Amino acid sequence: MTTDTTQGTAPDAAVPGATVLDARGVTMRFGGLTAVRGVDLTVGAGEIVGLIGPNGAGKTTFFNCLTGLYVPTEGEVRYRGTVLPPKSFKVTAAGIARTFQNIRLFANMTVLENVLVGRHTRTKEGFWSAVLRGPGFHRAERASRERAMELLDFVGLAAKADHLARNLPYGEQRKLEIARALASEPGLLLLDEPTAGMNPQETRTTEELVFAIRDMGIAVLVIEHDMRFIFNLCDRVAVLVQGEKLIEGDSATVQGDERVIAAYLGEPIENAPGKENDR
Amino acid sequence: MNELPQQLVNGLLLGAMYGLVAIGYTMVYGIVQLINFAHGEIFMTGAFGALTVWLWLPGGTTMWLALPLMIIGAVIVAVAIAVGAERFAYRPLRNAPRLAPLITAIGLSLALQQAVWAWYPEAKSARTFPQISGGPFEIGNVTIQTGDIFLVAAAPLSMAVLGYFVLKTRTGRGMQATAQDPDTAKLMGVNTDRIIVIAFALGAAFAAVGAVAYGLKYGEINFRMGFILGLKAFTAAVLGGIGNIYGAMIGGVVLGVAETLATAYIADIPGMDKFGSQSWADVWAFVLLILVLLFRPQGLLGERVADRA
Amino acid sequence: MTTQTTAPDTPGARKADATGGLLPLPEKAARALALGGSVLTALSTFLAWTWTADFPGDLTVYGYPGGLQVLVLVGALLATLVALASYGLKGLRWLVPAGADPALRLATLAVFTTSWYTVLAISADLGGLVNLEPGGFLVALASLAALAGALSLPFRRPEPDPADPDDTGWAKTRHGLAHAWATTKAVFAADSPRPVRALPPYAEILIIVGVLALGLTVFTYGIGTEYDEQFIGFLITAGLGFAALNKAGLISHASQITARHQNITTCGAFVAAALFPFTQTDDQYATLGVYILIFATVALGLNIVVGLAGLLDLGYVAFLGVGAYAAALVSGSPSSPFDVHFPFWAAVLVGAAASLVFGVLIGAPTLRLRGDYLAIVTLGFGEIFRITANNLDGTSGPDITNGSNGVSSIPNLDVLGFDFGAQHDLGGYTIGRFANYFFLMLVITAVVVLVFRRSGNSRIGRAWVAIREDETAALAMGINGFRVKLIAFAVGACLAGLAGTVQAHVTYTVTPEQYLFAGPIPPNSAFLLAAVVLGGMGTISGPLIGAALLFLIPNKLQFLGNYQLFAFGVALILLMRFRPEGLIPNRRRQLEFHEDAEAPTLLTKAGA
C-alpha cells in the first residue's frame, strides 16, 4: 500500500510484540492544579488501546503530554525505546500522529491540500527545490499527491479531493483529520474522541476504519466516551479518573469494576428508587 | 552631571513615565491579545487635551489649580478616544483573524497622528507646554527638575490606585478572571465586554497622566511624540512580563534606567566614544528589547495572558 | 477554530419577496430608458460641455470628446453594450455570463457618477451652472435617465429581518437602516456566472492577450493623467466599470481562463509591462512607472511574509533600505566612505546578502515567540535602521552612511557596455534613463513573481499557509514552525534587498528619510502593508495593483496633500472593517475573513 516517497522512515510493519509507546509516571501540573498524576501506559505494536474516563479526567492533557504539546512535569515518554523531544513537530517526525478533540483542519484549504500538509514531515523538498523545480521536485510532488490520494481513497474521500475542508459534513471532516494524520506515516496514532457527535452508522464506519488502520501495522490509542465503540474496538482499556489511572485491562475487567461504575455513575443514593443498571 | 546617583534618578523618572504608558499596553494585551498600536497616539492626544485645558484657563492661573484640571482634561480626551476605538474599530473585529485588528490599530494610529497635525491649531510644529515654576529641587547630590516632581508623586500614586482597583474591587477581579479565561468568566456572569472597555479606559487614563508628565518634563509636545514612546512603552511591558500590571511599571523603570545609563556611560567604553549622544538612546532601548526576547521572553515577572486556545 | 458548522443560513438570501425595481417604472420602459440614456450620453460627449478652456481638458469642442468626455464616452459605450446584452441578444451573451441587470446598474452608475462629477466640477471651478453648455445639461439628464432606467429593473428584494417588538427608537432605526442596506446590496448583487465553456486554446490565448492589452491601456491612461479631475474621473470610471464587469461575471471568466494558461498569462503580462515605456514619448511617465514597479515589487515580497505566512512585518522598508545602502556604498559614489566600485552583479549580491543577514538577525530571536512580538520588533528595527543610518555621519558615530545627507551621486549602471544613464534609440523609439531602469526593474520583478509563484505552490508554501491558518495543528503535522517562518521572513528580506539595489541607482541618492514607517511618499512600511492588504493578501496581482493605486493616488491628487495620511489611516480602518480580503477577489481569502459566507464547493486553482 505504501508508495515509499523519500527518506522519512515509514514504520509501518512493526515487530509484533514490540512496545511502541511507553509512558511512565507522567505527571502534569499547572500551577496548583495537577491534571495528570503518575500515569503509566504502554501500547504494543498492532494493539488498539482505549483511554476512557469522565470529562475533565485529564485524557486530552495526557495526549498533549505524549505529543509534545505539553512538557510533562514529571515522568517520561518513550516511543520505540527513545525518549521524545518535547516539541510537537519532532514527535510527529518520530512517528506519533494525532487527531484533535475539536476538529482542527485547515478549513480554507482543500481536502487534498490538508492531506498533503500531513505529508510534510515525510518529504524534504525545501524552498530552493520549490523555486528551482528540478526533476526531483516534480517527482516528489507527484509521489506525494499519489500517496495523498491513496489515503483519501482509504478513508473514502477521494471523490472530494478538491472540495474545501470547511464544506465537508462533520463525519467526513473527522475522516479527513484521520487521513491527514496517517499521511505522516506514523507508527502510533492517537485519536481524540473520533466519534464525538456521530450517529451509530458513522460510528460503525469509524470502527472499521480503525481496524483497517491496525491492519496496516499502526498501533492506535483512542480516547472515547462511546462505550460500545471502545469495548468493540480495543484490546485493552485504561480508565483515567481525576488524573490518575484507576484500572487497566480488557473490557470485562473494566466494565465490572465498581470504582469505574462509581466514577461514571456516581455512588448510589441511599434509598433511591430503582436500581442502577450494569453498563 | 555624570554621577551615578543622578543618572539613576533620571532613569527612574524617565522609566516611571514609560511605565504609566506601558500599563495600557499590558492590560489590553493581557485580555484581548491585541497590541493596541494606537495607544501611543492616545497618550499623545491626552497631552493635547491637557494643553487645551491650559489654553482655555485664564492666563496666570496657578499650577496648583491648573494642573489637576489639566490632568482631568487629558484623561477625558484619552479615555474618550480609547473607548471609541474599542467600540467602533476593535470590537467588530473580535473574531477576525489576528492580522485584521493589528492593521486597524496601525490605521487608527496614523489617523490620530495626522488628525492632530492637520486640525489642532499650530500643531505642525511642537507646542509649548506649561511648566511648574520654581527652581529644581536638590536632595543630597541629586537634582530633580520641577517638571519631574509631578512624576515623583504621580507614579506611585497611580500604581497604588491601580493595585487597589485590580485586587479589591469587583470589577478588578472580573478583569483578572477575564484575563485568565474569558469564556469561563462569561459563564460566571462577568460582563466581558464591559471589562474590556474598562481595560481600555484605565490604560488610557494612566497614559494621560504620563502624557502630562511628559509635557511637564520636556516643556513641549508634538503630534509625533506617541510613536517612539509607544514603542518603548510596549518594550517595557514585554520586559516586565506582558499582561502583568506591576511588570509594566517595573519594566518601564528598568528600561528608563538602562537607557539613561547607556547614554551616559557608553561613551566611556573604549571604541564606542562616538555612540554616547542622545541620538542613540532609542537604539539602546531596542537592543534591550532584543536581549530580553532572546534570554527571557516571558519578561521579568512572567506573562499573564489568557490561553487563546 | 472549529470547522464543525455546516453551511449556515446566509442572511439576506431570504425568500424573494416582491420583485420590481427600486424605482417604479414598468420593466420594458425601464430597459429602453437605460439603453436610450446610455446611447444619448455617448452622443453627448461629442458636444461641448462648457464654453471656456479654463476647465482643463478642453471640453469646448463640438465633434470630438476631450479629457473627461473620453471617460464618459467609454463608460457610456460599456453601458450601451450591457443594455443591449440585457435584451438577450445572442451575440452579446458572452459579455454577461452572470446576467446583465446588475452589471447594467453598475455601468450606468459609473457613467452617471463620472458625468455628474464632471458637470459639477465644471460648475464649481468656473463659478456656476451658467458655465455649462447645452451639451453639459444633456449629458447630465441622459446619464440620470439611464441610471433611473437601470434601477427600475426588477431585482430580488430581501425580506426584512423580523423586528423585535420590544425595540426602542434607536434599535428600530438601526433595524430599518440594516434593511435598507441589505436592499441596496441586493440591487447590485449578481448571480454566479455560468461556467465558462472551454474554448479552443488559440481563442483563449487571444482573450488573454486582449485582457492584457486592456490592462496596459488602462494603466497607461491612469499614469498619464495630467490633472486632478481627470484622475478622479479615471478612478470612478475604472473602479465602477471594473465592478460592473465583475458583476457581469467576466472577471471570474477571465480568471478561469488565465488560470488554465498561467505561464502564458504571466509571460504575456511581462511583455505588456515591457511595452509600457514604448507608449511614452518622454521619460516623464516612465519615471512614475519605475517607481511604481519598485514599490509593487517590494509589496510582492512583503506578500510572501504577510500574505502567505501570516507574519506581520511592520518594518519591511528597512530591508529595502539595507539593500539600497549596501549597493550605494559599493557603487563608487564620491560620498561613499568606501572607495570601491563593484560591478552590478556584485552590488546586487551585496545588497541581497546584507538584507538577508539582517532578516535572519531580526527573525531568529523573534519568530520563536508569539506572533504579535514580531510586529513590534520589526517596527523597532525599521526605526533603528533609520536612526542608525542618520547617526553614522562622523559626529554621532563613525562615518559609514554619511548621515542625513546620505550617499548621493550614485553613478549610473554600466552593464556590459549598456549605459543606463544615457538615452538609446530602439527602432525609432527613444528609450530614456528611466525607461532603461524600468526594464532592469522588470527583470527583478520577474524574479520576485517567480519566487512567489513557485514557492507558494509547493511543500513550503503549503506549510506557510498551514502555519497561518492554525499553527498548533501545523506543528502537529510535523512542520517545524520556527524554521518555516524564518525562511519566509528571510526570503522576504532578501527580495526587498534585491529591489533596493536597483532603487539606489534609480534615485541617484539614498538617504535615511526615504525609509520611514509612514510618510507621504511611498514606499514606506505602512504603505507597503496597505498595498498588500488593499490589493489582496496572498495573490500575485493584488499587491501589484494595490501598489499602483497607492502610489498614483497621492501622486496625482496633490490637493490631498496634508490630509493624505489621515485619509490613509481612516481607509485602513474601514478596509479592515468591511473588506479585509482586499480588492482583488480571491475567494479563498474572502472565506477566511467572512466566516458565514457561502463557500463554493470546489475551489479552482485560481482560488476564484
Task: Give dist(CA C135, CA C50) in Å, integer.
Answer: 8
Closest CA to B303 of B238, B251, B233: B238
What average pLDDT does the segment B282-299 reach?
85
Report the alpha-carbon distance of residue C407 to residue C418 in Å, rounded.
23
CA distance A87 to A67: 8
Q: Is the pLDDT of residue C421 over 80?
A: no
Mean pLDDT across A29-58: 87
Name residue A126's beta-bridge partners: none
Residue B249 C-alpha, separation from nearest chain C C-alpha, in angstroms: 19
A74: how many CB neighbours lie within 10 A of its CB? 13
Of the candidates C376, C396, C529, which has its C-beta nearest B279's C-beta? C396
pLDDT higher at B102 or B12 = B12
Q: How far apart are CA A147 and CA A278, in angstroms?
A: 46
Mutation target to probe the C interface, by most C beta carbons within 10 A, among B35, B95, B99 is: B99
- Side-chain-side CA neighbours of A221 within 13 Å: the count stands at 29
Range of the domain at B151: 16-225
Structure confidence at residue B232 (pLDDT):
92
Choice among B52-61, C361-370, C582-591 with the minimum mean pLDDT: C582-591
Res. C534: pLDDT tops 70? yes
A25 and A134 belong to one structural domain: no
Q: What is the pLDDT of residue B115?
A: 92
Q: C409 with C420: CB under 8 angstroms?
A: no
Same-domain pairing of A86 and A52: yes
Range of the domain at A139: 105-184
Cα separation, B236 vs B277, whole angstroms: 22
Q: What is the pLDDT of residues C6-64, one digit of tens each?
A: 444 444 444 444 566 777 888 888 888 888 888 988 888 888 888 777 777 777 777 77
pLDDT value for A17: 66
Q: Which of B102, B286, B294 sits opposite C384 (nearest CB)?
A: B286
Residues A260 and A195 in one domain: yes
Quick one: pLDDT at residue A11?
47
The x, y and z cell numbers of residue B82, run together, are 480609547
Task: Output C554 or B198, whichever has higher pLDDT.
Answer: B198
Size of interface A-C (CB pairs under 8 A): 132
Which residue's C-alpha cell is 515577572?
B301
Q: Inter-chain contact C397–B101, Cβ cutoff 8 Å?
A: no
Q: What is the pLDDT of residue B135?
A: 74
- More reliable by pLDDT, B137 or C320: C320
C positions 521-550 inside 8 Å of A (CB): none
For residues A43-64, average pLDDT = 88
Q: What is the residue type of B25? A: Y
The residues near C174 (Cβ < 8 Å, ≥ 6 apart) are none
pLDDT tier for residue C172 given thresholds of 50, 70 and 90: confident
Residues A122 and A260 in one domain: no
Q: How many structural domains is chain A composed of?
A: 2
Instruction: Give per-residue pLDDT as tens, A228-255.
Output: 888 889 989 999 888 888 888 888 888 8
Q: Say yes or no: C471 contacts chain A, CB-CB below 8 A.
A: no
Q: For residue B193, give the amino acid letter.
A: D
Closest CA to C585 of C98, C109, C218, C111: C98
> Would A141 be classed as within a structural domain?
yes
Answer yes or no: is A5 within a domain: no
Where does a domain end: A158, A184, A210? Answer: A184
State whether residue C316 is helix, strand or coil.
coil
Nearest residue of A to residue C604, measured between CA atoms? A162
Pairing state of beta strands A188-192 and B127-128? unpaired
- Whether residue C224 is predicted with pLDDT greater than 90 in this model: the reply is no
Task: Answer whether residue A161 is part of any domain.
Answer: yes
Q: Is the pLDDT of residue C293 over 70?
A: yes
Count of structural domains, chain B: 1
> With an 8 Å Cβ cutoff, are C375 and B99 in contact?
no
Q: ipTM of this model?
A: 0.86
Please tell me if residue C599 touches chain A, with a CB cutoff of 8 Å.
yes
Asked if C271 is an interface residue toward chain A (Cβ–Cβ < 8 A), one would say no
- What's the gap in Å between the CA of A205 and the closest CA on chain C? 19
Q: What value does the mean pLDDT take over residues C226-236?
A: 86
Residue A15 confidence class, pLDDT cut points 50, 70, 90: low
pLDDT at A248: 87
pLDDT of residue B214 exceeding 90: yes
Handedness of CA A36, A41, A43, A48 (dihedral sign): negative
pLDDT score, position B2: 59
Partner residue facing A131 (CB), from C2, C451, C465: C451
B 33-52 near C (Cβ less than 8 A): 33, 35
**Is C470 in the A-facing interface, judged by CB distances under 8 Å?**
yes
Same domain, A109 and A163: yes
Would the pLDDT of C595 be above 70? Answer: no
- Does A141 contact C3 at a Cβ distance shorter than 8 Å? no
Residue, of C504 and B270, whose pLDDT is higher = C504
Q: Are residues A111 and A244 in the same domain?
A: no
Under the banding of pLDDT at 50, 70 and 90, the label for residue B79 is very high
pLDDT band at C355 (very low <50, low <70, confident <90, very high): very high
The angle formed by the CA atoms of residues C371, B233 and B110, to the nearest 5 degrees, is 75
d(CA B128, CA B202): 27
Q: What is the pLDDT of residue B212?
A: 93
- Across chain B, mean pLDDT equals 87
Is A33 part of any domain?
yes
Q: Please report which residue ranges of chain A form alpha helices under DSSP H.
A: 59-66, 88-94, 111-118, 127-132, 135-155, 170-182, 200-215, 227-233, 251-256, 258-265
In this prediction, residues C110-122 reach a mean pLDDT of: 89
Given a cut of 60, is residue C551 above it in pLDDT?
yes
Average pLDDT score over residue span B58-85: 89
Identify the residue with better confidence: A4 or C436.
Answer: C436
Rounded Cα distance, C315 and C320, in Å: 10
Distance CA B293, CA C370 (A): 11
Chains contacting chain C through 3 or more C-beta pairs under 8 A: A, B
Write the Ramachandran bin of A106: left for phi over 0, alpha for psi from -120 to 50, otherwise beta: beta
Give the closest residue to C111 by CA, choosing from C79, C70, C152: C79
Q: Are C572 and B103 inside 8 Å of each other by CB?
A: yes
| CB pair distance less than 8 Å for C601 and A167 | yes
Q: Residue A72 maps to which CATH number?
A: 3.40.50.300
- Residues C568, C571, C573, C575: is their CA dihedral positive or negative? negative
Phi, psi of C158 (to 5 degrees): -80, 150
HEC string of C455-517? HHCCHHHHHHHHHHHCHHHHHHCCCCHHHHHHHHHHHHHHHHHHHHHHHHHHCCCECHHHCCC
A197 and A61 inside one domain? yes
DSSP C305: I
Q: Is residue B285 part of a domain?
A: no
Residues C478 and A124 sit within 8 Å (Cβ to Cβ): no
In B188-244, which ranges are continuous DSSP H helix? 192-218, 225-240
Find the mean pLDDT for residues C187-192.
Answer: 76
Whether the predicted pLDDT of A1 surpasses 60? no
CATH class for the domain made up of C261-593: mainly alpha
Q: Does residue B106 lie within any of the structural domains?
A: yes
CB < 8 Å from A in window 560-589 of C: 588
Q: Which amino acid is at B151?
A: L
C339/C331 Cα distance (integer angstroms)? 9
Q: Which three cell numbers stand for residue C311?
A: 507574519
Confidence of residue A10 (pLDDT cuts 50, 70, 90): very low
**pLDDT level of residue A49 (50, 70, 90 thresholds):** very high
pLDDT value of position A267: 62
Nearest to A49 by CA among A243, A257, A256, A238: A238
State the average pLDDT over residues B159-163.
Answer: 90
Place A273 in a pLDDT band, splitting at 50, 70 and 90: low
Whether B113 and chain C come into contact, CB under 8 Å, resolves to: yes
Supply angle C-alpha B189, B192, B196, rounded to 5: 155
- pLDDT at A103 > cutoff 80: yes
Q: Residue A225's pLDDT band (boundaries 50, 70, 90)? A: confident
Percentage of the residues of chain B whose pLDDT score is greater than 70: 98
Where do the structural domains in chain C lie, given as residue ranges? 27-159+186-255, 261-593
Establish if B134 belongs to a structural domain: yes
Q: What is the pTM of this model?
A: 0.85
> Looking at the predicted structure, is the pLDDT value of residue C265 above 50?
yes
Instruction: Look at residue B206 and tell me if it is in a domain.
Output: yes
* Torsion-angle region of A151 (φ positive above 0: left; ψ -120 to 50: alpha; else: beta): alpha
Q: Please say if the pLDDT value at position B5 is more than 70.
A: yes
Q: What is the pLDDT of residue C537?
A: 82
Beta-carbon separation of C476 and A69 below 8 A: yes
pLDDT digits (tens, 9 = 90+) for C449-458: 999 999 988 9
pLDDT tens, position by position, B12-37:
999 999 999 999 999 999 888 888 99
- Has residue C1 got a pLDDT over 70? no
Task: Report residue A279's pLDDT band, with 50, 70 and 90 as the boundaries.
Answer: very low
**Domain presence at residue A6:** no
B118-160: pLDDT as tens digits: 888 888 888 888 887 777 888 877 888 877 888 888 889 999 9
Closest chain C residue to the Cα of B234, Cα to Cα: C376
Quick: pLDDT tens for A113-167. Answer: 999 999 999 998 889 889 998 888 999 999 999 999 999 999 999 998 888 898 8
- The B residues from 117 to 146 touching C (CB cutoff 8 Å) are 117-118
What are A35's three cell numbers? 491534571
Residue A214 — very low, low, confident or very high, per pLDDT cuts 50/70/90?
very high
